[in-house]
Chains A and B, each alone.
Chain A
Amino acid sequence: MTNREMKKEKETITNRERYQRTFSALHASGKDVMEVTTMKQRGKIRIGKLATACMAFILVLGLTSAAYAADIGGIRRNIQLWIHGDQTDAVIEIENGQYSLTYEDEDGTVQQQSGGGIAFDWKGKERPLTEEEILEELNSPDVQYEEDGSIWVYYFDQKIEITDKFDDQGVCYVQLKNGKDTLYMTVKYQNGYATSPHSYPSPRSFN
């Protein structure tokens, strides 16, 4: 293309064409959802939806339990498991994105749970969850609605009652601490929750 032709092309390009060419240089990162902890949505209701739709990852986890990893090292790990509001020792084994949990229930009976998951980026590439991701998921907070009407948040070794902390709109804001890390959690009564390390997620942003 000659200089004259180039000059003419510049003269004839419209504002819209130039604008579209300029802003087509911007691209969403498309980063793996698991790498982003800014917003994570999970809950009794939500797990099923995530599992079927595979947005973040499929997680097959006992819905009445929350766990936190207490021992790091090797594929077989000792963890603490929240079962019906009580902390219980358990062993977790992880391999190829699958895990199995073994623990004794309150009657002394050995119980087993297993599950696993996959992660995939927004471009559709699939892979099994890594050991770190499974443990990260186990370490994320969980909300439990008990039969007596009380509502609890379980996070690492903490058990926080939030029954009376909901506002008129049925929304509760909880600040969770783990060492130096702070997590801001917004809970909608019987309607899921979201967390962020930066600020309380807007109730409008989920469910």
Chain B
Amino acid sequence: MATDFFDLSQSGPLDRGSLPADPMSVSDSGPLPIPPAHQGTLLLPLCLPSIALGMVAVVLGTWLFKSPSASLFTFAGSLSGLLITIALFRRQEAAAIATLNRPDVRSAGLDSTGVFRSLLGELIHRVERHESKSRELTDQRARLEARAHLLKTQVRRLIHTLDLVEQPVFLLDSGNTLVYRNAAATTLLNAVSGNPEIPAASAWDSMASLKSLVESVRNRSAAADKRTAELELKCAGELITYRAEAANLYDDDGRQTSVSIVLSDIREQVLETAKQAQFVSSVSHELKTPLASIRAYTELLMDDVDDPDERLELLQFIDEQVDRLTRLVNNLLNFARVESGVIKVQREDVDVNRIARKALEVVASAAKEKQIAIVDELSDLYLPAHLDVDLFGQAIINLLSNAVKYTPKGGQIRLRTRMQDTEAVIEVQDNGMGIPVDALPRLFERFYRVPQNSKAAPGTGLGLALVKYIVTNIHDGAISAASQVHQGSVFSIRIPLGHRGRGSRASQLQKSVN
């Protein structure tokens, strides 16, 4: 059924421009100077009048002279005239045939054919015209066959291409019968019917939402003959959101004939929209919460609180909230700068250990304040990687400062680097408060903060999200976390080993040995 629509034996539309408008209008440019047709055809005018005259002479003679002998005499005269005519004709005919059999001397022969010149010219003219027409038709037929073959090949390719398209494509004829569907559409129909026994076409009949879309697009004016609708289809038990685009198709005369429908699975877009909405909602919440405290305390200071100690306390609260807001705005801007590409990523060939060592220096003072020991377990090997030093350094600093924040006084943090297969691994391990197992999957979400730990230290819920973005989106790496409550956490970053500049990985390793 699917291929019937493209069967060229059913008189497919051909390109008329390449064919003669009227197949009979063949040009008259033959090799001979042919006289016009009305001057020829002398055979009948010569023979028939001779016979007729003879007959008339007999009748007339018999009637006039009342003498059969006189009329017989007249008849004999007429008959000999006729015989002479026939003999002349035969001679000329033989000459003409001889001439015709010698195409190389056609022109010369024609001149010598005497009274049959016109007749022969006409004959030759007609024969040649028919020959020419016949050749023309044969050529035309060959051209059409070649064209039909080409079209068939193109249609086959189109069908094949449409079958490779992931989006289901349907085509309905003017009677709303499903005349074509691509492979994805067949798969969809099978999934909708949920039963391989049921023919896919009958599943189409059950899709009321698509049918009503077809109806609505048919009723559209030519100016707006496309319609888009979002619809949900239950495929193999799962509800999938599709965007359906229906469009009217027209024939050469502008008559609306078929309707095409293309479906797109927009589950991911729907999810992305929901995520964006969630993000905006979170930003709103994170920004407005400290603002709410600031506003409330400012008003209390103006209206209600007179005691100097209490005023100072409220001012300190306000100060804290301003700090919180500043931190949040900075983090948000940082994230936005990195994500939008305002901060240009400048990757270079470096040793991972060099970046790790710098990060250690940055958090050293904060760790010292909390009497937290930082254990340097950096690899002795040169770990070549192609990194943005600042951004990747920021990622390690974020992990280290998180470790400092959520590890109690006197705790320990280990920073480890190593080579594993084709990757460099950077691990930040602490023996702090740990993360509950149900919080681990959400750890890298923007604004997510572990509820049990959020009171332990100020934070915006953006630090780990930024680390993940830097590692996965910018450096093609991966990040994971493992933890046990009250035992501590390990965050592992993995990035591809190797420099991008001159020299292979082996030579880089050699360089590290030297």
On whether the two chains bind one another, the answer is: no
Question: Which residues does A use to contact B, with CB under 8 Å?
Answer: none
